[in-house]
Amino acid sequence: MTKIHIGIDIGGTSIKIGFIDQVGQIIHKWEIPTRKEESGIHIVQDIRDSIVEKQIALSIDDNQFVGIGVGAPGFIDHKRGTVHAVNIGWTDYQLKQCVQEKFNLPVWIENDANMAVLGENWRGAGNGEENVMLITLGTGVGGGVIANGELLRGESGAASEIGHVTVERNGVTCNCGREGCLETIASATGMVRQAKETIDKHPQSHMAQFYRKNKAISVKDLFSLAEQGEQLSQQIIDNTTNVLATAIQNMATLINPSRILIGGGVSNAGEALLKPLRDKFIAKALPRISKPCELKSAELGNDAGIIGAAYVVLVHSK
């Protein structure tokens, strides 16, 4: 009978759930919406109902389930099993205990970016390395680090939050309340903000015309405009990769990784993003840092979180 590790990745809009075997193959995966009302008190029950429904539909025996790994956004307090995730409405929420009460199974919780780096290192672009950094460029900028073979969590679960390293004095205010965080520039939100500022400054430009015609501009648009030779979008990409490469090289100097994996929606740009980023990283970093290090795209996309969560179950239940 196949042993099943349940991997759960709780996000701001949807919850991804996967039944995953002992070699990291997804047996079944699906998504449910994240009900954030009433400070997110329905989320765990929704997960429970959905898993029971799938278990019946797929004729899975209770004793096939090994345990549950849950990735959640925000800060995880491992000593207390609590989560602080403002965008879901959880303030010191007893996530581990709540999941344990609903399922008669062992439960492990972890920050979502940490789950993603574990997933990538197990079944994706990491290849079981001892020292890996994952940087996700999405709505925000997230980071997960494996150092000396161990997940880096820090004293209060805030280690490797690369999105909140300061890259600009007197910069734009970040979601965290501070100014000039990397996230204000290198996230999808940050790149679109740069585009809108540029459009305001250059209302006659091709980019401004594009924006007026389409009534929106996305990161994908910026990369395709740059590919067509449009200079202002190229400048935004140059600025973003420059700032990002500096932040990455600073972090890499602390970690000395063999792989730096770039994930999240912005990384869909592929080599148009990765090549300048790699070139600038190599130019900025100490050769002893850049030489043994490969900077490449993450491979698992949205599945990284559930696969990493299943991996946590696997390693702890052995």
For residues 228-287, which are near Zn ion according to CB under 5 A? Answer: none
Return the exposure string of 251-279: e unless at least 16 CB atoms fall within 10 Å of the residue's CB, then b.
bbeebebebbbbbbbbbbbeebbbebbbe
| Minimum distance of Zn ion from residue 112's CB (angstroms) | 17
| Minimum distance of Zn ion from residue 176's CB (angstroms) | 3
**Exposed/middle/buried for 51, CB within 10 Å: 0-12, 13-18, 19+?**
buried
Q: Which amino acid is at 25?
A: Q
| Interaction between residue 147 and Zn ion (CB under 5 A) | no
Residue range at the interface with Zn ion (CB under 5 A); choices 46-54, 61-69, 159-167, 211-219: 159-167
Which tokens hold the place of 291? Answer: 């030489």
| Interaction between residue 164 and Zn ion (CB under 5 A) | yes
Of the candidates 176, 192, 272, 282, which one interacts with Zn ion according to CB under 5 A?
A: 176
Of the candidates 145, 167, 181, 306, which one interacts with Zn ion according to CB under 5 A?
A: 181
Residue range at the interface with Zn ion (CB under 5 A); choices 1-9, 25-33, 58-66, 172-180: 172-180
Beta-carbon contacts of residue 118 (< 8 Å; ≥ 6 apart): 110, 144, 146, 151, 308, 311, 312
Residue range at the interface with Zn ion (CB under 5 A); choices 119-127, 163-171, 270-278, 280-288: 163-171
| Minimum distance of Zn ion from residue 189's CB (angstroms) | 12
Residue range at the interface with Zn ion (CB under 5 A); choices 71-79, 144-152, 160-168, 266-274: 160-168
Of the candidates 88, 162, 167, 174, which one interacts with Zn ion according to CB under 5 A?
A: 174
Residue with Cβ nearer Zn ion (3 or 193): 193
| Minimum distance of Zn ion from residue 192's CB (angstroms) | 17
Which tokens hold the place of 190? Answer: 């940050």
Residue with Cβ nearer Zn ion (107 or 141): 141
| Minimum distance of Zn ion from residue 156's CB (angstroms) | 16
Which tokens hold the place of 210? Answer: 């594009």
Distance between CA atoms of residues 42 and 34, nearest Å: 9
Distance between CA atoms of residues 166 and 251, nearest Å: 12
| Interaction between residue 182 and Zn ion (CB under 5 A) | no
If binding means CB under 5 A, how many residues of this protein chain bind Zn ion?
Answer: 4
| Cα dist from 307 to 114, 121, 126, 269, whole Å | 11, 10, 13, 23
| Minimum distance of Zn ion from residue 12's CB (angstroms) | 16
Collapsing DSSP states into helix, strand and coil, what is residue 6? strand
Residue with Cβ nearer Zn ion (181 or 217): 181
Distance between CA atoms of residues 302 and 265, nearest Å: 10
Which tokens hold the place of 278? Answer: 């790699």
* Contact set with Zn ion (CB under 5 A): 164, 174, 176, 181
